[in-house]
Amino acid sequence: LTARALAAAKPYRFSRELSPHALGVAMNIPTLVTLALVIAYPIYYAAYLSFHKVSLAELRRGIFPFVGLANYTRIFNDSLFLLALKNTLIFTAFSVTLELVLAIAIALLIDQTSVWTGRITKFLILVPYAVPPIAGGLIWSFIYSFEYGFLNRILFTTGLSATAVNWTGHPATALFAVAVPYIWRTLPFAILLVHAALQGINQELYEAASVDGAGAMQRFWHITLPLLRPIIVVILVLRTSFAFAVFDEVLAITQGGPGDATWVAAWYSYKRGFSPPFDIGVGAASAYVLALIVGMFAIAYVGLIYRRIR
């Protein structure tokens, strides 16, 4: 009786029901408004600033003279900006590649349920992610210290190096000395993503492959890696974006030095915008160029990898 009654009863409806399309739009409005306020407006405002002369006095008065492309012309004529872009590209290529390889390797290791230490490792791996970037940078500064650092001490006592290496003070090593703490800090995030993706792979695929005589490497190349591609795209897009904007480690460890060896794009924008003579328009222009480059990389990654999947 109850079932019949339920089936006969009309479902409750609002007097004026929204169409699925309208409902979808309505449900998205709060998100759109929030995104517009916290993301789109700053992006628009940064673009606006990049076409105007903006320094301290203009900010105070709230009047920004229009300068057209002058700020962009200035940065593209500035050898330091071009060098900062080059350093950023090297930094990004090195850190993202290494991070991706390490993330997959470590995620595969901690995915081994037969190894009981995996549980502890899963927890410990998250620790660097919880360390504030500046604090992490300072810790690594001590590790790198020429005279008193742990790194030189370890290399010396293990016989790997007879003399101390000036990791952050030598132009050949400084950029990589900044990249390592950056990778250390951001790697857990990538590991988590890969680890989560691994949980979604059907174990029967591996079992079937094993039955067909596939070895571990074959299973990795033909099952794991192809199925990880979507998450690899996500990691590439996210990590490339963040690596392009690296700042904290540079601030805490080298401050752009020695010389201009670790001047990266975000450091350039900061120095132009936030130290006298406070050329915020120039800083905004350089940040915008950086954002465009990151955007192009993101589109390229998505296009390239999804085309392969199809």
Partner 1 sequence: MNDEPAAARRLGRRDFLMATAGASLLGAGEVRAQQPGPWAIAPKSKVDTVNFVVWTYGDIYTKISAKFQADWGVPVQSTISSFNDHPAKLMTMYAGSETIDVSQSSPFSFPNFISQGLVEPLDDLPGAKDYLADFTGSCKQVAVYDGKLMGLPYFSTVWVWNYYTDLMEKAKFEPFTTYDELLEQLRKAKKDKIADYPIFWVAGVGLEQLPGTWYQMTWNRGGVFFDKDGNHQLGPGSIARETLKWWIQTFKEELADPESLKAQFTASAKAFGAGKNVYRGPNHHYGLNVANDPAQSPNAGKIKVLGSPGDGKTIGDTHVYFLCTANRDKEWAWKLLQYLGGKTKDGQYTQAIALARDAMLGSGYNSVMNSAAVTEGWKPWGDPVEILKIWDKATYVAEVVPSIYKPWHFPWSDRINIEVSKALTGQTTADACCDTLIAAIKEVQKG
Residues that bind partner 1 (CB under 8 A): 55-57, 59-60, 74, 78, 80, 145-147, 166, 168-171, 255-261, 263, 271, 274-279, 282
Residue closer to partner 1 (CB basis): 52 or 239: 52
Residue closer to partner 1 (CB basis): 111 or 260: 260
Q: Which of 140, 245, 121 is nearest to 185 (CA)?
A: 140
Nearest approach in angstroms of CB 64 to partner 1 is 12
Nearest approach in angstroms of CB 169 to partner 1 is 5
Nearest approach in angstroms of CB 55 to partner 1 is 7
Nearest approach in angstroms of CB 145 to partner 1 is 8
Q: Cα Rg for the chain, rounded, in angstroms?
A: 26
Nearest approach in angstroms of CB 12 to partner 1 is 52
Residue closer to partner 1 (CB basis): 133 or 169: 169
DSSP 16: S
Neighbours of 294 (CB within 10 A): 20
Nearest approach in angstroms of CB 107 to partner 1 is 37
Residue closer to partner 1 (CB basis): 136 or 256: 256
Angle at 235 between CA 232 and CA 238, to 5 degrees: 150
Residue closer to partner 1 (CB basis): 117 or 255: 255
Nearest approach in angstroms of CB 290 to partner 1 is 19
20 burial (CB, 10 Å; 0-12 / 13-18 / 19+) is exposed
Q: What are the C-alpha distances in Å from 160 to residues 144, 152, 155, 164?
A: 16, 9, 5, 11
Residue closer to partner 1 (CB basis): 83 or 238: 83
Q: Which of 297, 153, 277, 152 is nearest to 236 (CA)?
A: 297
> Under 8 Å CB-to-CB from 179, ≥6 apart: which residues?
91, 94, 95, 98
What does the block give as tokens for 215? Answer: 């070895």
Angle at 50 between CA 44 and CA 56, to 5 degrees: 110
- What is the spatial distance between Cα 37 and Cα 230, in angstroms, rounded to a whole number? 30
> Under 8 Å CB-to-CB from 151, ≥6 apart: which residues?
143, 144, 165, 167
Residue closer to partner 1 (CB basis): 147 or 204: 147
Nearest approach in angstroms of CB 141 to partner 1 is 9
Residue closer to partner 1 (CB basis): 79 or 199: 79
Nearest approach in angstroms of CB 270 to partner 1 is 8
Output helix, strand, coil percentages for the chain, rounded to the nearest 5: 75, 0, 25
CB 233 within 8 A of CB 302: yes
Residue closer to partner 1 (CB basis): 58 or 111: 58
213: left (phi over 0), alpha (psi -120 to 50) or beta: left
